[in-house]
Amino acid sequence: MGAAIVRKREASRRRSRIVRIAAIASALCLALYFAGFAVFLSEVSFYRKDVPDSRADGIVVLTGGVARVDEAVKLLNEKKGERLLISGVHPSASRAVLAKTFAVDEDRFNCCVDVDHEALDTVGNAVETADWVAEHGYHSLLVVTNDYHMPRSLLELHSVLSDVELIPHAVVASQHQNGTAAEQASRYRVLLGEYVKYSAARLRTLVTPISGPGDDVHRAALTASE
C-alpha cells in the first residue's frame, strides 16, 4: 500500500513538472510572438514614413486596399515605370471600367497597363507578377500596396522574384496617427490580423521555398496554401 502511495505521489510530481514546463514554454513562445509583432509594427511604420522617390522597370499594384490603384496610376503617369500591372482585379471589372474608375488616359491605359484577373490573394499576386516580370524581362519593380500589407507582399514577391529588385511604395491606410480609441483599436486589429497572416506566410516560405517563375510544382503548392 505504501509503495502504491509513493508511486502516485511521484507520478503527481512528474505531471506537475510537465505542466509547469509547458506553461513556461507557452509563455516564452507567446512573448516571442508578440516581440515579433513589435518588430512587424516597426517595419510597417518604416514603410509609412519612408516612401522612396524611385524609378523602376515596372510597377505592380496589389488590389484590395484603399487608394492603391490611384497611387499606382499616379506613379505610371509620372513615368516611374514603363508599365503597370494591376493584380487581383475582380473578373467582372473590364478594362474600360477600370480606365474610367481611375481616370487613366485611354491611350496610356491601352499602351502601358496590364490587368490580372487570376490572382485571388497575395500568393496569387506574387505568382502572376512573376510571370509578368519574366514576360517583360524586368529587373526592378515598384511594389504598391498598403503599409500594413507591404511586409507580406514583399515576402511573397521575394520568394518568386529573388533576382528582381523590389522597391516598396506604401500607401498609408490612415493618416490619423492620434485618432479616437475606437479607431486605434480597429487599426490594431487589422495589424494583428495581418501579422498572423505574415507569420504563417513566413513559415510556409521557409518550409516550401520556390525557385522562381516557371516552377509549376511549387506554384501549385503556393496556390493551395491560401
pLDDT in tens, 67-114: 899 999 999 999 999 999 999 999 988 888 888 888 778 888 999 999
Yes or no: say if 167 and 143 are a contact pair by the CB < 8 Å rule: yes
Task: Check if the beta carbon of residue 73 is closer than 8 Å to that of residue 84.
Answer: yes
Q: pTM of this prediction?
A: 0.79
Indicate the residue type of 12.
S
Query: What is the residue extent of each domain of the chain?
Result: 51-225
- Classify residue 30 by its DSSP letter: H
Neighbours of 142 (CB within 10 A): 24
pLDDT at 175: 56
**Are the CB atoms for 118 and 90 separated by under 8 Å?**
no
Most confident range (mean pLDDT) of 23-27, 64-68, 150-154, 185-189 is: 150-154
Confidence at residue 147, expressed as pLDDT on a 0 to 100 scale = 93
Q: How far apart are CA 194 and CA 63, in angstroms?
A: 15
**Distance in angstroms (rounded) separating the CA atoms of residues 122 and 223:** 10
CA angle, 158 then 98 then 103, to 5°: 105
For the domain bounded by 51-225, which CATH number is listed?
Answer: 3.40.50.620
51 CB burial (10 A radius; 0-12, 13-18, 19+): middle
Angle at 107 between CA 140 and CA 60, to 5 degrees: 25
Burial of 101 (0-12, 13-18, 19+ CB in 10 A): exposed
